[in-house]
Amino acid sequence: MAVRVPLIRFAEARRTITVATVALLGAVGVVATHPSAAVAARATPIQNSEIVAAARSAALGSHGGQCKVWAAGVIDTVLAAHGRGDRVGGWGTPGGAYYGAWQRAGGMRVSQAQVRPGDVVQIVNAAEKNSDFPAGALHSAIVVGLTGTPGTFVLRDSNWRGEESVFQHRLDPSGYARAHGSTAYYWRFGSVTPQVHGAEGLFWSTTGGVPISGDWDGDGRADIGVVVGNTFALALTTGKGTKTYRKISYGAGVGKSRVPITGDWNGDGVTDVGWQHGSAFRLLLLNENGKPYTYKLISFGRGVAHNDIPITGDWNGDGVTDIGYVRGGAFHLALVTKKGKARAYRTIKYGAGAAKGDLPITGDWNGDGRSDIGYRRGRVFTLGVSGHAALAAGRARDLRRITYGAAQLVRR
Protein backbone atom coordinates (compact mmCIF):
# COMPACT_ATOMS: atom_id res chain seq x y z
CA MET A 1 0.00 0.00 0.00
CA ALA A 2 1.28 3.50 -0.78
CA VAL A 3 1.10 5.66 2.32
CA ARG A 4 1.30 9.43 2.13
CA VAL A 5 3.22 11.15 4.90
CA PRO A 6 1.50 14.43 5.87
CA LEU A 7 3.29 17.23 7.71
CA ILE A 8 2.51 18.50 11.21
CA ARG A 9 4.35 20.67 13.71
CA PHE A 10 5.11 19.91 17.31
CA ALA A 11 7.45 21.09 20.05
CA GLU A 12 10.39 18.84 20.82
CA ALA A 13 12.04 20.15 23.99
CA ARG A 14 12.84 23.83 23.44
CA ARG A 15 12.38 24.14 19.70
CA THR A 16 9.63 23.68 17.14
CA ILE A 17 10.43 21.59 14.09
CA THR A 18 8.54 20.15 11.13
CA VAL A 19 8.10 16.37 11.09
CA ALA A 20 6.61 13.91 8.61
CA THR A 21 4.04 11.88 10.53
CA VAL A 22 0.29 11.56 10.92
CA ALA A 23 -1.63 14.15 12.90
CA LEU A 24 -3.52 11.60 14.94
CA LEU A 25 -0.29 10.22 16.43
CA GLY A 26 0.66 13.42 18.26
CA ALA A 27 4.30 14.10 19.03
CA VAL A 28 6.84 11.43 18.18
CA GLY A 29 9.26 12.89 20.68
CA VAL A 30 7.61 10.98 23.52
CA VAL A 31 8.32 7.56 24.96
CA ALA A 32 6.95 4.76 22.77
CA THR A 33 3.87 3.03 24.12
CA HIS A 34 2.88 -0.59 23.75
CA PRO A 35 -0.23 -1.69 21.84
CA SER A 36 -3.38 -2.48 23.73
CA ALA A 37 -5.01 -5.87 23.22
CA ALA A 38 -7.59 -4.27 20.94
CA VAL A 39 -4.94 -2.64 18.73
CA ALA A 40 -2.81 -5.78 18.62
CA ALA A 41 -5.83 -7.84 17.58
CA ARG A 42 -6.36 -5.77 14.44
CA ALA A 43 -2.68 -5.26 13.56
CA THR A 44 -1.71 -6.50 10.11
CA PRO A 45 1.69 -7.51 8.66
CA ILE A 46 3.96 -4.80 7.25
CA GLN A 47 5.95 -5.12 4.06
CA ASN A 48 9.24 -3.25 3.70
CA SER A 49 8.01 -2.01 0.32
CA GLU A 50 5.34 0.04 2.11
CA ILE A 51 8.03 1.81 4.14
CA VAL A 52 9.87 2.62 0.90
CA ALA A 53 6.64 4.03 -0.57
CA ALA A 54 6.03 6.14 2.54
CA ALA A 55 9.59 7.53 2.42
CA ARG A 56 9.30 8.33 -1.28
CA SER A 57 5.95 10.06 -0.81
CA ALA A 58 7.81 13.00 0.73
CA ALA A 59 8.95 15.13 -2.22
CA LEU A 60 12.66 15.71 -2.62
CA GLY A 61 13.54 19.19 -1.46
CA SER A 62 10.47 19.51 0.74
CA HIS A 63 10.88 20.47 4.38
CA GLY A 64 11.48 17.38 6.50
CA GLY A 65 13.02 18.73 9.69
CA GLN A 66 15.59 16.82 11.72
CA CYS A 67 16.70 13.46 10.29
CA LYS A 68 15.62 11.25 13.22
CA VAL A 69 12.20 12.86 13.50
CA TRP A 70 11.58 12.54 9.76
CA ALA A 71 12.61 8.87 9.64
CA ALA A 72 10.58 8.11 12.77
CA GLY A 73 7.58 9.78 11.17
CA VAL A 74 7.82 7.52 8.14
CA ILE A 75 7.87 4.42 10.33
CA ASP A 76 5.09 5.72 12.60
CA THR A 77 2.87 6.36 9.59
CA VAL A 78 3.19 2.76 8.40
CA LEU A 79 2.79 1.37 11.92
CA ALA A 80 -0.45 3.32 12.29
CA ALA A 81 -1.73 2.20 8.89
CA HIS A 82 -1.40 -1.39 10.07
CA GLY A 83 -3.07 -0.91 13.43
CA ARG A 84 0.18 -1.07 15.39
CA GLY A 85 0.19 0.73 18.73
CA ASP A 86 3.97 1.15 19.10
CA ARG A 87 5.60 4.41 18.02
CA VAL A 88 9.22 5.47 17.60
CA GLY A 89 10.11 7.44 20.71
CA GLY A 90 12.28 10.52 21.12
CA TRP A 91 14.18 12.03 24.01
CA GLY A 92 13.46 10.21 27.25
CA THR A 93 12.95 6.81 25.66
CA PRO A 94 14.58 4.00 27.68
CA GLY A 95 17.67 2.95 25.75
CA GLY A 96 18.04 6.37 24.15
CA ALA A 97 16.38 8.30 21.35
CA TYR A 98 18.78 6.89 18.73
CA TYR A 99 18.86 3.21 19.69
CA GLY A 100 16.27 2.22 22.26
CA ALA A 101 13.59 4.17 20.41
CA TRP A 102 13.86 1.94 17.32
CA GLN A 103 14.09 -1.21 19.41
CA ARG A 104 11.09 -0.42 21.61
CA ALA A 105 8.95 0.43 18.60
CA GLY A 106 9.35 -3.12 17.32
CA GLY A 107 12.46 -2.81 15.15
CA MET A 108 14.62 -5.88 14.58
CA ARG A 109 18.37 -5.43 14.17
CA VAL A 110 19.77 -6.76 10.90
CA SER A 111 23.34 -6.90 9.67
CA GLN A 112 24.74 -4.76 6.88
CA ALA A 113 24.67 -7.79 4.56
CA GLN A 114 20.98 -8.33 5.30
CA VAL A 115 19.88 -4.75 4.59
CA ARG A 116 17.00 -4.38 2.15
CA PRO A 117 14.95 -1.38 0.96
CA GLY A 118 12.63 -0.28 3.73
CA ASP A 119 15.16 -0.81 6.52
CA VAL A 120 16.19 2.06 8.80
CA VAL A 121 19.78 3.29 9.14
CA GLN A 122 20.78 4.84 12.44
CA ILE A 123 24.31 6.18 12.82
CA VAL A 124 25.27 6.78 16.45
CA ASN A 125 28.30 6.52 18.71
CA ALA A 126 28.26 2.90 19.94
CA ALA A 127 29.64 3.82 23.36
CA GLU A 128 26.85 6.37 23.86
CA LYS A 129 24.07 4.76 21.84
CA ASN A 130 21.73 4.73 24.84
CA SER A 131 22.13 8.46 25.41
CA ASP A 132 19.80 11.15 24.13
CA PHE A 133 22.82 13.38 23.42
CA PRO A 134 25.61 11.16 22.07
CA ALA A 135 28.89 12.51 20.75
CA GLY A 136 30.14 11.75 17.25
CA ALA A 137 28.30 11.43 13.95
CA LEU A 138 24.53 11.12 14.26
CA HIS A 139 22.11 10.45 11.39
CA SER A 140 18.87 8.59 10.59
CA ALA A 141 17.67 7.51 7.14
CA ILE A 142 15.46 5.08 5.24
CA VAL A 143 17.00 2.67 2.71
CA VAL A 144 15.04 2.96 -0.55
CA GLY A 145 17.33 0.98 -2.85
CA LEU A 146 20.46 -1.17 -3.18
CA THR A 147 23.43 -0.57 -5.47
CA GLY A 148 25.99 -2.74 -7.19
CA THR A 149 28.44 -2.04 -4.35
CA PRO A 150 27.98 -4.17 -1.22
CA GLY A 151 27.39 -1.95 1.81
CA THR A 152 26.39 1.09 -0.25
CA PHE A 153 22.68 1.91 -0.30
CA VAL A 154 20.33 4.47 -1.77
CA LEU A 155 19.07 6.50 1.19
CA ARG A 156 16.23 8.95 1.59
CA ASP A 157 16.48 11.23 4.59
CA SER A 158 16.18 14.77 5.84
CA ASN A 159 18.80 17.32 6.91
CA TRP A 160 21.70 15.41 5.35
CA ARG A 161 23.06 18.69 4.00
CA GLY A 162 22.04 20.72 7.05
CA GLU A 163 19.03 22.24 5.28
CA GLU A 164 16.25 20.25 6.99
CA SER A 165 15.03 19.21 3.53
CA VAL A 166 14.27 15.75 2.11
CA PHE A 167 17.19 14.37 0.13
CA GLN A 168 18.16 11.14 -1.67
CA HIS A 169 21.74 9.96 -2.10
CA ARG A 170 24.05 6.95 -2.05
CA LEU A 171 26.07 6.16 1.03
CA ASP A 172 28.05 3.43 2.74
CA PRO A 173 26.63 4.08 6.23
CA SER A 174 29.04 1.75 8.03
CA GLY A 175 32.08 3.25 6.30
CA TYR A 176 30.88 6.79 6.90
CA ALA A 177 30.14 6.04 10.55
CA ARG A 178 33.59 4.50 11.16
CA ALA A 179 35.28 7.53 9.61
CA HIS A 180 33.40 9.79 12.03
CA GLY A 181 33.75 7.83 15.27
CA SER A 182 30.31 6.21 15.21
CA THR A 183 28.59 2.95 14.26
CA ALA A 184 25.79 2.26 11.76
CA TYR A 185 22.89 0.18 13.08
CA TYR A 186 20.23 -1.23 10.78
CA TRP A 187 16.62 -1.81 11.87
CA ARG A 188 13.78 -3.67 10.15
CA PHE A 189 10.08 -3.09 10.80
CA GLY A 190 8.52 -5.00 7.89
CA SER A 191 9.01 -8.18 5.89
CA VAL A 192 10.97 -8.47 2.68
CA THR A 193 9.24 -10.46 -0.05
CA PRO A 194 10.86 -13.89 -0.27
CA GLN A 195 10.51 -16.38 -3.07
CA VAL A 196 11.11 -20.09 -2.79
CA HIS A 197 11.38 -22.49 -5.68
CA GLY A 198 10.91 -26.20 -5.76
CA ALA A 199 13.55 -28.90 -5.70
CA GLU A 200 15.60 -27.37 -8.51
CA GLY A 201 15.49 -23.81 -7.31
CA LEU A 202 16.83 -21.24 -4.91
CA PHE A 203 15.48 -18.78 -2.38
CA TRP A 204 15.85 -15.10 -3.24
CA SER A 205 14.54 -11.82 -1.89
CA THR A 206 13.58 -8.99 -4.17
CA THR A 207 11.52 -5.85 -4.42
CA GLY A 208 10.80 -6.17 -8.14
CA GLY A 209 9.86 -9.19 -10.23
CA VAL A 210 10.51 -12.48 -8.43
CA PRO A 211 12.63 -14.96 -10.45
CA ILE A 212 11.48 -18.60 -10.59
CA SER A 213 12.60 -21.77 -12.33
CA GLY A 214 11.11 -25.15 -13.22
CA ASP A 215 10.45 -27.59 -16.03
CA TRP A 216 7.31 -25.94 -17.48
CA ASP A 217 6.89 -28.28 -20.47
CA GLY A 218 8.19 -31.56 -19.01
CA ASP A 219 11.10 -31.96 -21.43
CA GLY A 220 13.62 -32.55 -18.64
CA ARG A 221 15.27 -29.16 -19.15
CA ALA A 222 15.07 -26.47 -16.44
CA ASP A 223 13.29 -23.33 -17.64
CA ILE A 224 12.99 -19.85 -16.17
CA GLY A 225 10.33 -17.32 -15.32
CA VAL A 226 9.41 -14.27 -13.28
CA VAL A 227 6.47 -13.36 -11.06
CA VAL A 228 5.23 -9.78 -11.29
CA GLY A 229 2.17 -8.91 -9.26
CA ASN A 230 -0.15 -11.92 -9.56
CA THR A 231 1.24 -13.12 -12.91
CA PHE A 232 3.66 -15.98 -13.47
CA ALA A 233 5.46 -15.26 -16.78
CA LEU A 234 7.10 -18.51 -17.92
CA ALA A 235 9.80 -18.92 -20.58
CA LEU A 236 11.33 -22.08 -22.06
CA THR A 237 15.08 -22.56 -22.45
CA THR A 238 15.96 -23.75 -25.96
CA GLY A 239 19.74 -24.20 -25.82
CA LYS A 240 20.09 -21.06 -27.93
CA GLY A 241 18.25 -18.76 -25.56
CA THR A 242 14.68 -18.56 -24.29
CA LYS A 243 11.21 -18.15 -25.72
CA THR A 244 7.99 -17.01 -24.11
CA TYR A 245 5.82 -19.92 -23.07
CA ARG A 246 2.84 -18.92 -20.97
CA LYS A 247 1.46 -16.36 -18.52
CA ILE A 248 -0.58 -17.52 -15.52
CA SER A 249 -2.47 -15.02 -13.37
CA TYR A 250 -4.04 -15.97 -10.06
CA GLY A 251 -4.68 -14.40 -6.66
CA ALA A 252 -3.73 -11.05 -5.16
CA GLY A 253 -0.07 -11.22 -6.13
CA VAL A 254 3.32 -10.85 -4.47
CA GLY A 255 3.30 -8.92 -1.22
CA LYS A 256 1.13 -8.77 1.86
CA SER A 257 2.80 -12.01 2.98
CA ARG A 258 2.00 -13.83 -0.29
CA VAL A 259 4.93 -15.83 -1.62
CA PRO A 260 5.05 -17.59 -5.03
CA ILE A 261 6.07 -21.27 -4.94
CA THR A 262 6.73 -23.92 -7.59
CA GLY A 263 6.69 -27.71 -7.67
CA ASP A 264 5.33 -30.79 -9.42
CA TRP A 265 2.16 -31.12 -7.36
CA ASN A 266 0.66 -34.11 -9.21
CA GLY A 267 3.82 -36.00 -10.25
CA ASP A 268 3.35 -35.65 -14.01
CA GLY A 269 6.87 -34.36 -14.64
CA VAL A 270 5.75 -30.77 -15.27
CA THR A 271 6.52 -28.01 -12.77
CA ASP A 272 3.42 -26.21 -11.51
CA VAL A 273 3.00 -22.95 -9.60
CA GLY A 274 1.22 -21.79 -6.49
CA TRP A 275 1.10 -19.35 -3.61
CA GLN A 276 1.87 -19.50 0.08
CA HIS A 277 -0.17 -17.04 2.20
CA GLY A 278 -0.44 -17.17 5.96
CA SER A 279 -0.52 -20.84 6.89
CA ALA A 280 -1.97 -21.90 3.53
CA PHE A 281 -0.09 -23.46 0.61
CA ARG A 282 -2.31 -23.05 -2.49
CA LEU A 283 -1.16 -25.52 -5.17
CA LEU A 284 -2.36 -24.64 -8.67
CA LEU A 285 -2.84 -26.75 -11.80
CA LEU A 286 -4.05 -25.70 -15.25
CA ASN A 287 -7.29 -26.99 -16.76
CA GLU A 288 -7.71 -27.97 -20.41
CA ASN A 289 -8.20 -24.31 -21.32
CA GLY A 290 -4.96 -23.29 -19.67
CA LYS A 291 -6.70 -21.59 -16.75
CA PRO A 292 -5.34 -22.06 -13.21
CA TYR A 293 -7.42 -23.71 -10.52
CA THR A 294 -6.75 -24.75 -6.95
CA TYR A 295 -5.59 -28.35 -6.89
CA LYS A 296 -4.92 -28.52 -3.17
CA LEU A 297 -5.14 -26.00 -0.35
CA ILE A 298 -2.96 -27.15 2.53
CA SER A 299 -2.39 -25.59 5.93
CA PHE A 300 1.10 -25.91 7.41
CA GLY A 301 3.12 -23.47 9.53
CA ARG A 302 2.21 -19.87 10.28
CA GLY A 303 3.47 -17.96 7.25
CA VAL A 304 5.99 -15.24 6.40
CA ALA A 305 4.35 -12.71 8.71
CA HIS A 306 5.37 -14.96 11.60
CA ASN A 307 8.88 -15.56 10.21
CA ASP A 308 8.07 -18.98 8.69
CA ILE A 309 9.83 -19.16 5.31
CA PRO A 310 8.06 -21.58 2.94
CA ILE A 311 10.05 -24.23 1.06
CA THR A 312 9.13 -27.03 -1.36
CA GLY A 313 10.83 -30.27 -2.38
CA ASP A 314 10.32 -33.98 -2.88
CA TRP A 315 11.34 -35.13 0.60
CA ASN A 316 10.57 -38.86 0.16
CA GLY A 317 11.45 -39.31 -3.52
CA ASP A 318 7.97 -40.29 -4.74
CA GLY A 319 7.98 -37.81 -7.63
CA VAL A 320 5.47 -35.44 -6.01
CA THR A 321 6.63 -32.12 -4.58
CA ASP A 322 5.96 -31.68 -0.88
CA ILE A 323 5.96 -28.57 1.30
CA GLY A 324 7.66 -27.20 4.41
CA TYR A 325 8.86 -24.12 6.16
CA VAL A 326 11.96 -22.86 7.94
CA ARG A 327 11.68 -21.21 11.34
CA GLY A 328 14.93 -20.06 12.86
CA GLY A 329 17.47 -22.78 12.14
CA ALA A 330 14.93 -25.62 11.83
CA PHE A 331 13.56 -27.04 8.56
CA HIS A 332 10.03 -28.39 9.15
CA LEU A 333 9.15 -30.83 6.36
CA ALA A 334 5.70 -32.23 5.54
CA LEU A 335 4.47 -34.75 2.98
CA VAL A 336 1.42 -33.85 0.91
CA THR A 337 -1.20 -36.60 1.12
CA LYS A 338 -3.61 -37.62 -1.66
CA LYS A 339 -6.42 -36.03 0.37
CA GLY A 340 -4.66 -32.67 0.32
CA LYS A 341 -3.37 -32.70 3.88
CA ALA A 342 0.08 -31.96 5.26
CA ARG A 343 1.54 -34.87 7.20
CA ALA A 344 4.49 -33.81 9.36
CA TYR A 345 7.52 -35.72 8.13
CA ARG A 346 10.73 -34.50 9.76
CA THR A 347 12.23 -31.50 11.54
CA ILE A 348 15.90 -30.94 10.75
CA LYS A 349 18.11 -28.38 12.45
CA TYR A 350 20.48 -26.81 9.94
CA GLY A 351 22.00 -23.34 9.76
CA ALA A 352 21.23 -20.37 11.98
CA GLY A 353 18.03 -19.09 10.36
CA ALA A 354 17.00 -15.95 8.45
CA ALA A 355 17.54 -13.67 11.45
CA LYS A 356 21.27 -14.51 11.17
CA GLY A 357 21.32 -14.07 7.39
CA ASP A 358 20.78 -17.70 6.34
CA LEU A 359 18.36 -17.99 3.40
CA PRO A 360 17.06 -21.55 2.87
CA ILE A 361 17.48 -23.43 -0.41
CA THR A 362 16.42 -26.91 -1.54
CA GLY A 363 17.55 -29.29 -4.27
CA ASP A 364 18.70 -32.83 -4.95
CA TRP A 365 22.40 -32.22 -4.30
CA ASN A 366 23.56 -35.87 -4.51
CA GLY A 367 21.22 -37.20 -7.22
CA ASP A 368 19.39 -39.78 -5.09
CA GLY A 369 15.94 -38.57 -6.15
CA ARG A 370 15.19 -36.88 -2.83
CA SER A 371 15.31 -33.13 -2.22
CA ASP A 372 17.96 -32.03 0.24
CA ILE A 373 18.25 -28.77 2.14
CA GLY A 374 20.79 -25.99 2.49
CA TYR A 375 21.21 -22.29 3.04
CA ARG A 376 22.84 -19.24 1.53
CA ARG A 377 24.80 -16.88 3.78
CA GLY A 378 26.26 -13.93 1.92
CA ARG A 379 28.07 -15.42 -1.10
CA VAL A 380 28.37 -18.93 0.36
CA PHE A 381 25.88 -21.69 -0.47
CA THR A 382 26.04 -24.53 2.06
CA LEU A 383 24.49 -27.75 0.74
CA GLY A 384 23.39 -30.39 3.23
CA VAL A 385 22.40 -33.99 2.56
CA SER A 386 19.25 -34.97 4.46
CA GLY A 387 19.04 -38.71 3.74
CA HIS A 388 17.61 -41.40 6.01
CA ALA A 389 20.37 -41.28 8.62
CA ALA A 390 20.30 -37.49 8.81
CA LEU A 391 16.51 -37.44 9.01
CA ALA A 392 16.52 -39.93 11.85
CA ALA A 393 19.07 -37.84 13.74
CA GLY A 394 17.21 -34.61 13.00
CA ARG A 395 20.27 -33.01 11.43
CA ALA A 396 21.68 -32.63 7.92
CA ARG A 397 25.24 -33.53 6.95
CA ASP A 398 27.29 -30.94 5.07
CA LEU A 399 27.93 -32.04 1.49
CA ARG A 400 29.78 -29.01 0.13
CA ARG A 401 30.09 -25.24 0.30
CA ILE A 402 30.11 -23.12 -2.85
CA THR A 403 31.00 -19.44 -3.10
CA TYR A 404 29.10 -17.73 -5.88
CA GLY A 405 27.72 -14.31 -6.80
CA ALA A 406 27.60 -11.08 -4.81
CA ALA A 407 26.98 -10.79 -1.10
CA GLN A 408 23.87 -8.73 -1.88
CA LEU A 409 21.35 -8.71 -4.67
CA VAL A 410 21.66 -5.81 -7.05
CA ARG A 411 18.51 -3.69 -7.35
CA ARG A 412 17.84 -0.60 -9.38
| 8 Å CB contact between 325 and 307 | no
Dist CA 384 CA 366 (whole Å)? 9
Query: Is 0.85 surpassed by the pTM of this model?
Result: no
Task: Give the Cα separation of 311 and 303 in Å (integer).
Answer: 11
pLDDT in tens, the chain (412 residues): 333 333 322 222 222 222 222 222 222 222 233 333 333 334 567 888 889 899 999 999 999 999 999 999 999 999 999 888 889 999 999 999 999 999 999 899 989 888 888 999 999 999 999 999 999 999 999 998 887 688 899 999 999 999 999 999 999 999 999 999 999 999 999 876 443 333 223 333 334 578 888 889 887 778 888 888 889 999 998 877 788 899 999 987 776 568 899 999 998 888 999 999 888 999 999 887 878 999 999 999 887 767 788 999 999 888 899 999 999 889 999 999 988 899 999 999 888 876 677 888 898 887 777 888 988 887 788 888 765 555 555 567 777 888 876 444 333 2
In angstroms, the CA 56 to CA 186 distance is: 19
Is residue 267 packed enough to be buried (19+ CB in 10 Å), middle (13-18) or exposed (0-12)? exposed
